[in-house]
């Protein structure tokens, strides 16, 4: 899609939406302040937090940060409101419990300057625990076309930077989605142009007991709704390659549901909560009844090739 081509480096805006102060917000904001290429703007949106003064005190520790308070409307609406407060050419989003490595913004700006056709850049991202210890190493990969983005190269809100004009063109985040809203944004942006991959670990995604993504049932259901919607659009447009890619991604979401339910069931059994474990098994058997058989067939095909 068209883009500004002035000789100057693009301006970068950072948006943080939160409805809590939380134990990690100070560290998250400090990681923005520590960037080797400073952000031009840092907007923190208080989405109706119950303790606004505590949040205000945390944000005040970062002089460059600007706090905007609004009535609670959900994270999608809060992020959209934050973007409206910015003027940068590029927008990066930071969750209140994640953190960036110091070269994060510089590397993305370099990548998108070198690839002026790229509407999104994304980097490698690892998962850490509450103490900052690595739990899962980065596994992102390059996306060579739109179908690759659909299949899932590991583009999520925490590790992407989007051109402001692309964000505006797709209408920002859809407030109808309370989970998976970043997937919807990514899929819409992929229709506008290529994605640039920054092959370095520059973001730490924090996994802890209060993460919204731990609500695996709601997340799996929301992802399925989003994927089915975009698949229907691709089917109506006669884009068979995208339909096939969406079918692959839907299958991956079913496997995620089984993996998440199995983990939750094991945890429940360890705590001698047999009823909760059975509830997990019952839910996933209804949600994706054919997934185990498909997994077995995939493994058989790999062995017999």
- Taking the C-alpha atoms of residue 6 and residue 81, their distance in angstroms, rounded to an integer, is 27
The one-digit pLDDT tens for each residue of the chain (305 residues) are 444 444 578 999 999 999 988 789 999 999 999 999 999 999 999 999 999 999 999 999 999 999 999 999 999 999 999 999 999 999 999 999 999 999 999 999 999 999 999 999 999 999 999 999 999 999 999 999 999 999 999 999 999 999 999 999 999 999 999 899 999 999 999 999 999 999 999 999 998 766 555 589 999 999 999 999 999 999 999 999 999 999 999 999 999 999 999 999 999 999 999 999 999 999 999 999 988 877 666 666 666 66
Range of 268's domain? Answer: 215-304
Residues 227 and 137 occupy one common structural domain: no
Can you give the pLDDT at residue 3?
A: 44
- CA 85 to CA 36: how far, in whole Å? 23
pLDDT at 303: 62
Q: Considering the domain boundaries, does residue 4 fall inside one?
A: no
> Where does a domain end: 159, 183, 211?
211
On whether both 51 and 181 belong to a single domain, the answer is: yes
Collapsed DSSP state (helix, strand, coil) of residue 97: coil
Q: Which of 178, 211, 244 is the last residue in one of the domains? A: 211
Whole-angstrom Cα distance, residue 111 to residue 10? Answer: 11
Half-sphere exposure of 206 (CA within 13 A, CB side): 20
Q: How many domains does the chain have?
A: 2
Same domain, 193 and 74: yes
Q: Does a structural domain hold residue 278?
A: yes
Beta-bridge mates of residue 92: 14, 161
Residues 28 and 162 in one domain: yes
User: In 3-state terms, what secondary structure has residue 1?
Assistant: coil
Q: Which of 177, 211, 245 is the last residue of a domain?
A: 211
Co-location of 219 and 198 in the same domain:
no
- List C-alpha distances in Å: 181 to 27, 64, 140: 24, 28, 19
Q: How far apart are CA 117 and CA 208, in angstroms?
A: 37
Same domain (yes/no): 202, 239:
no
207 with 146, same domain: the answer is yes
Backbone angles phi, psi at 88, to 5 degrees: -75, 165
Pair 221, 189 in one domain: no
């Amino acid at each position: 899609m068209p883009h500004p081509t002035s000789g100057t480096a693009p301006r970068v805006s950072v948006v943080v939406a939160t409805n809590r102060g939380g134990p990690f917000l100070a560290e998250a904001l400090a990681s923005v302040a520590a960037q080797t290429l400073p952000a031009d703007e840092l907007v923190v949106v208080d989405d109706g937090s119950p303790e606004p003064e505590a949040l205000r005190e945390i944000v005040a520790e970062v002089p460059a940060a600007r706090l905007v308070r609004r009535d609670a409307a959900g994270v999608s609406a809060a992020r959209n409101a934050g973007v409206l407060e910015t003027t940068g050419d590029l927008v990066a989003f930071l969750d209140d419990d994640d953190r960036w490595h110091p070269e994060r913004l510089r590397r993305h700006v370099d990548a998108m300057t070198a690839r002026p056709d790229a509407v999104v850049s994304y980097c490698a991202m690892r998962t850490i625990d509450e103490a900052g210890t690595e739990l899962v190493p980065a596994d992102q990969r390059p996306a060579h076309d739109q179908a690759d983005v659909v299949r899932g190269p590991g583009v999520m809100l925490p590790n992407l930077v989007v051109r402001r004009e692309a964000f505006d063109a797709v209408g920002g985040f859809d407030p109808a989605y309370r989970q998976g809203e970043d997937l919807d944004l990514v899929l819409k942006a992929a229709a506008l142009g290529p994605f640039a991959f920054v092959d370095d670990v520059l973001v730490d995604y924090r996994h802890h007991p209060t993460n919204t993504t731990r609500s695996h049932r709601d997340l799996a259901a929301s992802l399925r709704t989003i994927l089915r919607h975009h698949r229907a659009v691709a089917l109506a447009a006669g884009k068979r390659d995208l339909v096939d890619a969406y079918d692959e991604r839907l299958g991956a979401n079913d496997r995620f549901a089984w993996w998440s339910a199995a983990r939750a069931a094991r945890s429940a059994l360890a705590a001698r909560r047999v009823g909760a474990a059975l509830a997990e098994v019952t839910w996933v058997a209804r949600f994706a009844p054919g997934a185990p058989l498909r997994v077995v067939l995939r493994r058989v095909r790999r062995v017999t090739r």
